[in-house]
Amino acid sequence: MHKAIKRLVFALSIAPALYLVYLGFMNNLGVNPAETLQLETGTWALRFLVATLAVTPVRRLTGWNRIVQYRRMLGLYAFFYAFAHFLTYLVLDLSFAFDQMMADVAKRPFITMGFIAFVLMIPLALTSTKGWIRRLGRRWQLLHRLVYVSAVTASVHYIWKVKVAIGPPVYYAAAVGILLGFRLVWQLRSAKSIRTQQVKA
């Protein structure tokens, strides 16, 4: 059952990318294919970030501990779509003009936020293996809390990009805020519980 679910998660995760490739071959990406690819890959990156952040709350609320086994896959797919989003911008918009890219990062706030979100995801993807988890120990958990910063900056990037504070950009930002709030509340409750036990001891 676990292997079947894992294959299903993998298939569902890669499906949007395959669909975009199909639309490209069929010349059906709209009047501005580059913009379509950027929007879709960026949106899917944010969706997978939200899904990754939701794993721990779902586990704690439902007791379904096995869901943790899918978090790494979801996180890697978030990076995969974020990387594709970055490539469509660098290749299709700028034709590998790195100097123009750095100028955009410095001058255009929404690109600054997107670039920060992407850069923060790089060490998370690189250290997602079991080997790195063993090497880093407790530092691995501290490092991977950057996913919250990445999700927040990605949400801001999306809102500033579309320049409207309604619809999907706000929904994703709200989801990130709720999941971040859940983590803060849980940590505060855990800290209070530890203090109470210490006082009783």
Tens place of pLDDT per residue across the chain (201 aa): 678 888 999 999 999 999 999 999 999 998 999 999 999 999 999 999 999 999 999 998 888 888 888 999 999 999 999 999 999 999 999 999 999 999 999 999 999 999 999 999 999 999 998 898 888 888 888 888 899 999 999 999 999 998 877 888 899 999 999 999 988 888 777 666 666 666 665
Is 2-193 a CATH 1.20.120 domain?
yes
**Burial (Cβ within 10 Å: 0-12, 13-18, ≥19) of residue 56:** middle
3-state SS of 85-116 is: HHHHHHHHHCCCCHHHHHHHHHHCHHHHHHHH
Domain extents in the chain: 2-193
Q: What is the pTM of this model?
A: 0.91
Angle between helices 109-126 and 98-107 (to 10 degrees): 110
